[in-house]
Amino acid sequence: MLLLGLLLTSTVTPAHEAGPAVSTSASSTRASALIEALGRPAPARTAFAEARFMHMLERPLVVSGQLAWLGGDRLERRVEKPRLEIATITDGEVTQQREGKRPRHFSLKRAPQLQVLLDSFVALLSGDAERLQRAFVIQTSGHAAGAWSMTLTPRDPEVARTVASIVIDGFARESRCMETHEADGDVAVDLLGTLAGEMPAQPTPAALQTLCRGAP
């Protein structure tokens, strides 16, 4: 997903403290129930296909492979097409391996605002609603037993300088798509699980939205 790409390419700047805890409103209660239902025991792996739409490029960048949550704060993103590339986060250390090149390492301590994004992604995978709500304003629509959508807006101003919002679409206990809107206007759409195999040869934002929000 785009998170690991951001961890590897973003400019490092100091972060503000995370936002205040959210109140226990009816909407946050619904969001909590949905997030908790999405939690999975580690290790958890899923196929993905990502199309990244950038203003500087006429065509989207498309990659595919496998995402893995290995427990705790350990994540792995294995790109298999168009070329092999593996990015991992383990114990606060980021490692990037590209075919034919030496591995690259750096500490998440250099990017505290991106540590918030990592914490939040792990919270989503593990079903930790309280941890996720500390970092994002969460809006949900739909029904937990059917089609639903969740929008995450960063509370931390420094995180918001990198990521404007993340929209996750799913059905029942499965996340089907993750759409990441960067602050500069670029967008990345990840198709997850069985939907990853349906990435069009020439994807467009409209075509991907139809896939993400259609019936499974």
CB 115 within 8 A of CB 8: no
Q: Which two tokens stand for residue 194?
A: 């069985």
The helix/strand/coil state of 150 is strand
Residue appearing with tokens 């969460």:
138
Asked if the structure places residue 14 within a domain, the reply is no
Please report whether residue 23 resides in a domain.
Answer: no
Q: Tell me the C-alpha distance between 52 and 199, whole Å.
A: 12
Q: Which has the closest alpha carbon to 116: 181, 160, 168, 69?
A: 160
Could you tell me the pTM of the whole model? 0.84
Q: Tell me whether residue 25 is in a domain.
A: no
Range of the domain at 185: 2-9+30-213
In a domain, 17, yes or no: no
CA distance 73 to 147: 29
Per-run averaged pLDDT (10 residues), the chain, 216 residues: 48 37 63 88 91 94 93 90 91 86 85 70 86 91 89 90 91 91 93 95 94 83
How many other CB atoms sit within 10 Å of the CB of residue 17? Answer: 10
> Structure tokens of 94?
């980021």
Q: Cα–Cα distance between 152 and 54 in angstroms, integer?
A: 21
Total domain count, the chain: 1
Q: Which residue has the tokens 């989503």?
A: 124
Pair 115, 108: CB distance under 8 Å = yes
What integer pLDDT is reported at residue 202 of this predicted model?
93
Please give the Cα distance from 66 to 159 (Å, whole number). 25
- For residue 83, being part of any structural domain is answered with yes
| CB-based contacts of 9, cutoff 8 Å, min separation 6 | none
pLDDT of residue 15: 34
Task: Return the HEC string of 35-77.
Answer: HHHHCCCCCEEEEEEEEEECCCCCCCEEEEEEEEECCCCCEEE
- In this prediction, residue 179 carries a pLDDT of 93
| Interatomic CA distance for residues 138 and 148, integer angstroms | 13
Using DSSP's 3-state secondary structure scheme, residue 103 falls into: coil
- Residue 72 resides in a domain: yes
Residue 15 lies in a domain: no
Q: What pLDDT is recorded for position 23?
A: 44
Domain containing residue 185: CATH number: 2.50.20.10
End-to-end alpha carbon distance in the chain? 21
pLDDT of residue 159: 85
Which residues sit opposite 165 in a β-bridge? 181
Q: Within a domain: residue 16?
A: no
